[in-house]
């Protein structure tokens, strides 16, 4: 490798910095303007510095703006259940792909189709089906089901990638030593794919938390967070939406950091166990 950087390196570095500015510019505006003074509006300049817009959110017995509080808890509840089901169903389906079996192509391509078909069609189709069956949509079955069509394909792709990298010799060694298939999964495969499984839970939660095109028509009464926020967009005239943005970002930030810490400690524990033997 050359030690001196070519000119293209500096040009591309500048380009990349400009791209980051393009990504972060609007977000920085949101974070700054959420601390706008009480007289200030949705644009710069800042007229003072205050927590007024956060207070508005929590005012009037927690019903400051729209139905945000309930929507937030509905989204969390939905996200946690979707994440758990995505993990169980996705890991099982991923394990099935380790063998060739009749129908594996159907499972694979139906997942790809579910990924590329625009969400409104899946949501619309499910709601038509329910309507023709005479069923009322509700979050605990059609809402969860609609979101699984979005989160499961990602789970399958993650499983595909991690199982593709799995060294088969560990498992063969376990078989040679007389491990049953349940023991192989519990003591050999699961520890090896654990970081990927945590990734699947994370992907399941975030894809549910952000999703509204599929769930929207099938959630029944009571908006989720993205639906409620989309509804509030048109009427937004004060920085209160920016306060929502700052708070929800902090929330996501803490979830991601927590996930990283958990995966980090798992990796460390494994390292310790390996060196101990």
Partner 1 sequence: MMSPRAASWLQATPFAIIMTGLVIVPLAMIFAVSFMDYGFAEIIPEFYLGNWTDIFRSDLAVATYATVLRQAFIVWGVTLLLGFTIAYYLIYHVRSNFWRAIFLAACAIPFWTSGPIRMISWVPLLGREGLVNQALTGLNLIDEPISWLLYSEFSVIVVYINMLTMAMVGPIANSMAKISPAVVQAARDQGATEWQVITEVIIPLIKPGIAVGTIFIVTAVMGDGFLVRAMSGNQVNTPAVAIMNEINAFQFPPAAAKSVVLLVVVMAFVGVLLRLVDIRKELAR
Among 51, 84, 107, 261, binds partner 1 (CB under 8 A): 107
Distance of alpha carbon 33 from alpha carbon 40, whole angstroms: 9
Q: In the range 181-220, which residues lie near partner 1 by CB under 8 A? A: 181, 209-210, 212-213, 217
Q: Would the CA dihedral through 80, 81, 84, 86 be positive or negative? A: negative
Residue 146 interacts with partner 1 (CB under 8 A): yes or no: yes
Q: In the range 234-253, which residues lie near partner 1 by CB under 8 A? A: 234, 236, 241-242, 244-245, 248-249, 252-253
Looking at 58-66, 191-199, 221-229, 261-269, which segment touches partner 1 (CB under 8 A)?
221-229
In Å, what is the CA distance from 196 to each residue of 28, 164, 200, 203, 240? Answer: 32, 12, 6, 10, 37
Distance of alpha carbon 122 from alpha carbon 153, whole angstroms: 14
Among 21, 51, 84, 161, binds partner 1 (CB under 8 A): 161
Closest by CA to 155, choosing from 122, 114, 216, is 114
Q: Are 229 and 244 in contact (CB under 8 A)?
A: yes
Q: In the range 125-144, which residues lie near partner 1 by CB under 8 A? A: 125-126, 128-129, 131-132
Distance of alpha carbon 130 from alpha carbon 134, whole angstroms: 6
Distance of alpha carbon 31 from alpha carbon 25, whole angstroms: 10
Min separation Cβ 251 and partner 1, Å: 9
Name the residue nearer to partner 1 (CB basis): 92 or 173: 92
Q: In the range 53-72, which residues lie near partner 1 by CB under 8 A? A: none
Looking at 9-17, 52-60, 167-175, 263-271, which segment touches partner 1 (CB under 8 A)?
9-17
């Amino acid at each position: 490798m050359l030690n001196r950087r070519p000119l293209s390196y500096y040009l591309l570095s500048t380009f990349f910095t400009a791209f980051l500015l393009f990504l972060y510019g609007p977000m920085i505006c949101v974070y700054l303007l959420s601390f706008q003074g009480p007289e200030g509006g949705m644009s710069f300049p800042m007229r003072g510095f205050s927590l007024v817009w956060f207070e508005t959110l929590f005012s009037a017995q927690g019903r400051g703006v729209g139905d945000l509080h309930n929507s937030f808890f509905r989204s969390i509840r939905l996200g946690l259940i979707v994440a758990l089901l995505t993990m169980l169903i996705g890991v099982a389906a991923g394990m099935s792909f380790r063998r060739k079996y009749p129908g594996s192509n159907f499972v694979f391509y139906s997942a790809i189709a579910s990924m590329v078909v625009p969400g409104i069609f899946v949501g619309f189709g499910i709601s038509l089906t329910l309507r023709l069956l005479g069923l009322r949509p509700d979050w605990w079955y059609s809402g969860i089901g609609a979101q699984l069509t979005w989160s499961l394909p990602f789970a399958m792709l993650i499983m595909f990638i991690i199982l593709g990298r799995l060294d088969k010799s560990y498992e063969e060694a376990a078989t040679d030593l007389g491990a049953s298939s349940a023991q192989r999964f519990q003591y050999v495969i699961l520890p090896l794919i654990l970081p990927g499984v945590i990734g699947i839970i994370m992907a399941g939660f975030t894809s549910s938390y952000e999703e509204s095109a599929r769930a929207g028509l099938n959630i029944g009464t009571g908006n989720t967070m993205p639906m409620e926020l989309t509804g509030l967009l048109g009427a937004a005239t004060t920085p209160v939406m920016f306060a929502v943005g700052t708070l929800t970002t902090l929330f996501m930030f803490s979830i991601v950091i927590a996930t990283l810490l958990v995966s980090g400690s798992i990796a460390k524990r494994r390292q310790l166990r390996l060196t101990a033997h």
